[in-house]
Amino acid sequence: MRLRTSPPLALLAAAALVVISACSPGSASGGGGDPKSFEFWSFSGIDQQHDVDVYLRDHPDLQVKLTEVGSTTETAQALTTAIAGGKVPDLVLIQGDDMPKFVQQPQNFRDLRESGADQMKGDYLDWVMEQATAEGGQIIGIPTDVGGMAVVYRTDLFAAAGLPTDRESVSKLWPTWDAFIETGKKYVAATGKPFVDNAPTSVFYQAVNQVSQKYYDDAGNLIYDTNPEVKAAFDTTLKALEAGISAKISFGADAWNAALPRGDFAVVSAPAWMLDQIRRAAPDTSGKWDVATIPGGAGNWGGSYLAIPARAQNPEAAWNYIKEMQSPQRQLEHFLDVGSLPTTPAVYDDPKLTGQADPFFSGAPTGQIYTQAVLGIKPFHMGPDTATIGSEFLNALTNVEQGSGNPATAWDDAVNNIRTAIGK
């Protein structure tokens, strides 16, 4: 970025959008439009193209323009700028963590109750639906999948370490996070190699999603600094770090993808949506993996929603797509093809789902394992700063993991950083 204009380019672009939006007439109610085509923004890595292809196979007369904008965050950012003044898509996929910010401003989205979403909402998990419902009752998103949690492990490496390898016995190794850490110590002692990819995402992000209240209480007040459940998850993670079982490789880094096929760690906490990433990062390790239950009981990390912006040109076409493709039956088919977990409990007993055996993961019944993980969930309130608070906690723990942070002050550092970041 070496430009001769002085003010930073990104801000200029933003300001330009804002200025343009200030001049454009505020047409809040999109309507009519072309019922035969719509524009769809998704993030990459979740294979929405598959769903679109299925839809177009049944409706050859329709047209769908799918754009994979980028990562989940990039997609939410693009949507934000589009809402602020650009051309919005007719349909957009929003990740669960990005949802609270949009739910706070429901006027930017079509209230899907008008299209009949209130009749459908009973089909979906209550707490998932709750997170897409604004204070005034507007429903701005229909959930496409949830991120039930489990632990994925390498059977060959477990065998080499003298640990059991079948998924029932492995699940019994770690009913709690403390037991998980103990197992990790045994593995490290036997092999001399790290056990888990990293503690901040594989321990903290899982444990902190198994609470009854997270960073907000049920009334929406901030309690991140006083909630003992959050502190406990944080301390458990510090304990895992002290035990020296972590490979210290951040999830999502290039090194993570490089370490996976090499067996540089034996265990990853993997929500349902991560299975496909593991499969693609290490195709040669097929059959060497298996799936065990998560320590500490049920929990959820991630999941996504489909929403229709208020200024959409062709909202009818977009809604028809949601209605058809997010029906329980279609979500089941999507799971069987791609692997992300349905949000519709009606299909959780379906023999097709429970009978699904994934050969890459040694024939693990992923449908059964992951649905069990989400059925036991105690839902908690998500607020506008949930994502920011989470990443500040994560950063403080990563700092300890990388050897620069002091575990004794890590909690205070994290709380201070959060105060600076969100101003309260």
User: Which of 26, 135, 420, 424 touches other proteins by CB under 8 A?
Assistant: 420
Quote the CA–CA distance of 311 and 109 in Å, as a whole number.
Answer: 8
Contacting range for other proteins; rule: CB under 8 A; set: 118-126, 233-241, 372-380, 389-397: 389-397
Q: What is the dihedral of CA 294, 296, 298, 303, to 10 degrees?
A: -60
Number of Cβ atoms within 10 Å of the Cβ of 5: 7
The answer to the question of residue 15 lying near other proteins (CB under 8 A) is yes
- Do residues 163 and 170 lie in contact, with contact meaning Cβ atoms separated by under 8 Å? yes
User: Which of 30, 147, 303, 405 touches other proteins by CB under 8 A?
Assistant: 405
As measured in angstroms, the least distance from the Cβ of 2 to other proteins is: 3
Count Cα atoms within 13 angstroms, Cβ side, for 202.
29
As measured in angstroms, the least distance from the Cβ of 391 to other proteins is: 5
Number of Cβ atoms within 10 Å of the Cβ of 15: 11
Residue 129 or residue 249: which is nearer to other proteins going by CB? 249
The answer to the question of residue 191 lying near other proteins (CB under 8 A) is no
Residue 316 or residue 401: which is nearer to other proteins going by CB? 401
The answer to the question of residue 44 lying near other proteins (CB under 8 A) is no
DSSP, res 194 = -
The answer to the question of residue 285 lying near other proteins (CB under 8 A) is no
User: Which of 47, 67, 101, 297 touches other proteins by CB under 8 A?
Assistant: 101
Residue 56 or residue 421: which is nearer to other proteins going by CB? 421
Using only C-alpha atoms, the chain has a radius of gyration, in whole angstroms, of 22
* Residue type at position 83: I
Q: What is the rounded end-to-end Cα distance, in angstroms, of the chain? A: 34
Three-state helix/strand/coil letters over 343-405:
CCHHHCCCHHHHCCCEHHHCCECHHHHHHHHHHCCCCCCCCCCHHHHHHHHHHHHHHHHCCCC
The answer to the question of residue 398 lying near other proteins (CB under 8 A) is yes
State how beta strands 267-269 and 151-154 pair. Answer: antiparallel
- Do residues 327 and 144 lie in contact, with contact meaning Cβ atoms separated by under 8 Å? no
As measured in angstroms, the least distance from the Cβ of 359 to other proteins is: 28
In what order do the strands lie in the sheet containing 63-70?
63-70, 37-43, 91-95, 300-307, 142-148
User: Which of 67, 81, 165, 213 touches other proteins by CB under 8 A?
Assistant: 81
C-alpha closest to that of 333 among 312, 353, 355: 353
User: Which of 84, 232, 336, 338 touches other proteins by CB under 8 A?
Assistant: 84
The answer to the question of residue 219 lying near other proteins (CB under 8 A) is no
Residue 119 or residue 404: which is nearer to other proteins going by CB? 404
User: Which of 213, 388, 407, 419 touches other proteins by CB under 8 A?
Assistant: 388
User: Which of 16, 28, 56, 189 touches other proteins by CB under 8 A?
Assistant: 16
User: Which of 24, 34, 53, 73 touches other proteins by CB under 8 A?
Assistant: 73
Contacting range for other proteins; rule: CB under 8 A; set: 3-11, 36-44, 161-169, 326-334: 3-11
What is the chain's percent helix, strand, coil content, to nearest 5? 50, 15, 35
The answer to the question of residue 395 lying near other proteins (CB under 8 A) is yes
Residues 239-268 that bind other proteins (CB under 8 A): 249-255, 258-259, 264
Summarize as ranges the residues that interact with other proteins (CB under 8 A): 1-19, 73, 77, 80-81, 83-84, 101-102, 104-105, 108, 249-255, 258-259, 264, 388, 391, 395-396, 398-399, 402-405, 420-421, 423
